[in-house]
Amino acid sequence: MILTLTPNPSIDRTIALAGVLARGQVQRVESVTAQGGGKGVNISRASVAAGIPTVAVLPAAKDDPFVIELLTAGIDCKPVLPAGGVRTNLTITEPDGTTTKLNSPGAAVGPQHLEAMATTLLARAATSSWTVLAGSLPAGSPDTFYADLVHRLHDCPSKVAVDTSERPLAALVDALPGSAPDLMKPNGEELASFTGDDPDVLESDPSATAAAARTLVDRGVGAVLATMGPAGAVLVTAEGCWHATPPPTTVVSTVGAGDSSLFGYILGDIRGLPAAERLALAVAYGSAAAALPGTTIPGPDHVLTDLVAVRQLDLTQGIPS
């Protein structure tokens, strides 16, 4: 079972434009879609599509349409005391796949809201294979919320994955190794935020990305799945480093691609696949998501693992082995 926590869920509204976004002008819209989302929710959606049991913990009223929509989609949802209504995020996609996101902050929380989420999560982590802490934190949260929660989860048999950014990510890194999860999934920009590297380099150079990710593994993180957009992804563990390139993909929307990659890796781990095959499945899932409109999360039928190329990296030489 995959247990997910989405502390700051959202109604994801996607507007698909017929042409290039032009600021200050009236434009034609091809379609508008809306779906309950957030990083953890997206991973739970992928779990349901793949036939893997999942439980999604998030702040919302039990009768909120957001919760009803998730339950209707087959997601076992555990809503906890909310501080306010679920926020709405707006995504604008252009025909070439360019994606613009406008994310609202959500309601400000207090200690009681955070502890309700933590308590509900900890009560179910003992029976989960993976516990995923994902997304931004709502206003009012301490930056250390994820780091503290990872520390509390250390007594649970569940493996722990974290996917976040900005100050919560910095706080998690600062608290290593005591807060070290089994898996982190930064992108190049997020890696660069604490290594000081050029983010453009980390989005294009697999060896540089692997070297940056290695710093996290050296500080206790079990594995780092570093996504690189069109350049694929890098996986670094204590046993080695690998780079995978995606199959040919016509990008429609990048929303949910990183979440899908994270799910693909976890699915591979649940299946007992070796590192290189876990990475291939992660990249195949991320590419499949990018080829789908809006916030559509791929199912197994969309995933083309056989078209993903994986190579092992040798960081002692700086070249692939």
Query: Taking a C-beta distance cutoff of 8 angstroms, is the pair 76, 58 a contact?
Result: no
Catalytic residue from among 12, 197, 259, 269: 259
* Cα dihedral sign, 91-92-94-100: negative
Q: Specify which residues 11 forms β-bridges with.
A: 36, 88
Element (H, E) at 319: strand 319-320
Q: What is d(CA 271, CA 267) in angstroms, rounded to the nearest whole number?
A: 6
* Cα dihedral sign, 66-68-72-77: positive
Query: Taking a C-beta distance cutoff of 8 angstroms, is the pair 242, 276 a contact?
Result: yes
DSSP annotation string for 15-65: EEESS---TTS---EEEEEEEEE-HHHHHHHHHHHTT--EEEEEE--TT-H
DSSP annotation string for 165-200: -HHHHHHHHHTTTTT--SEE--BHHHHHHHH---HH
Query: Taking a C-beta distance cutoff of 8 angstroms, is the pair 138, 106 a contact?
Result: yes
Q: What per-residue string of b and e applies to 178-208 under the rule 16 or more CB within 10 Å gives b?
A: ebbbbbbbbbbebbbbbbebeeeebbebbbb
Determine the residue type at 19. G
Instruction: State yes or no: is 76 an active-site residue.
Output: no
Q: What is d(CA 56, CA 74) in angstroms, rounded to the nearest whole number?
A: 11
Neighbours of 318 (CB within 10 A): 12
Residues catalogued as catalytic: 259
